[in-house]
Amino acid sequence: MKDEKIVEATDVSLAYRRTRHRVSSLKQTAIDTINRRMAYEEFFALREISFTIARGETVSVIGRNGAGKSTLLKVVARVLPPTTGRVIVRGKVAPMIELGAGFNPELTGAENIVLYGTLLGRTPKVMRSRIEEIADWAGLSEHLDIPIRAYSSGMTARLAFAIATDVTPDLLLIDEILSVGDADFREKSAARTLEMMNGGCAVLLVSHDLEAVVKMSTRAIYLSEGKQKFAGDPKEVIEEYLADVHH
């Protein structure tokens, strides 16, 4: 169903606790904590964010650094629970955020394919059957029996990307336009991403590339200091954002 809501976020806020005063050393921090002299305050990374994404829609999130864009992706990905509000996500999710964050460096590439895929909600049996195809697509077939700790950062990201995109999800979460590996692989990964976007999945995209936002998005959200300042047509949202930037 094209109008099926894949994401429904209602009044989502997320607060972190931080200390009100600086301390001179770790020892002093421990002493103040034991004596209950540490004073804390809440810092809201997100405040009352509401939006929906239907199947086949691409919603982009823009804003300055520190506006809460990546935090919002992590809340939708269920990495961070909201402090207040509610997020409903229906179906399978492919989170392209901090690629490889779920890997165990002591396990081999093959073992991490099973582990990472399981963390994404797939069964170990299915992942074991997909090891060779995933490694071949990532160009890492000859490195499957090597521990991930011996991989370069580019190899790790390529393997994580290949696992995350091995099936077309219901929701694709992208933190910045991907630039994984060398030029050939970047082109290959961009093609697969566009294929998934055109395949009917819902997409939540964070990007500083405003031209890409206009080309790829059906709607956009402008975040400022954790608040949803403007939402709607991508061109109008970008105009509002640029007006603030140049103010």
Mean pLDDT of 172-177: 82
Instruction: Give a yes or no: residue 160 inside a domain.
Output: yes
- What are the Cα distances from residue 63, in Å, to 53, 143, 224? 19, 39, 6
- pLDDT one-digit tens code per residue, 119-146: 888 999 999 999 999 999 999 999 999 9
**Which is nearest to 55 in space by CA: 1, 134, 97?**
1
3-class DSSP state of 63: coil
Instruction: Give a yes or no: residue 92 inside a domain.
Output: yes
Contact 77, 97 (CB under 8 A): yes
Instruction: Give a yes or no: residue 179 inside a domain.
Output: yes
Longest pairwise C-alpha distance within the chain: 58
Q: What is the CATH number of the domain that holds 218?
A: 3.40.50.300
Instruction: Give a yes or no: residue 15 inside a domain.
Output: no
Q: In which domain, by residue range, is 201 found?
A: 5-9+53-245
**Number of C-beta neighbours around residue 143 at 10 A:** 18
For residues 93 and 22, the model is more confident at 93
- pLDDT one-digit tens code per residue, 21-46: 555 566 665 666 666 655 567 788 99
Instruction: Give a yes or no: residue 20 inside a domain.
Output: no
- What are the Cα distances from residue 148, in Å, to 88, 112, 121, 189, 217? 34, 8, 21, 21, 35
User: According to the model, what pLDDT value does residue 133 have?
Assistant: 96
Q: What's the CA angle centered on 106, arms 163 and 118, to 5 degrees? A: 35
Instruction: Give a yes or no: residue 30 inside a domain.
Output: no
Flag whether pLDDT at 55 surpasses 60. yes
Flag whether pLDDT at 190 surpasses 90. no
Looking at the structure of the chain, the number of domains it has is 1
Instruction: Give a yes or no: residue 119 inside a domain.
Output: yes
User: According to the model, what pLDDT value does residue 95 have?
Assistant: 84
Instruction: Give a yes or no: residue 48 inside a domain.
Output: no
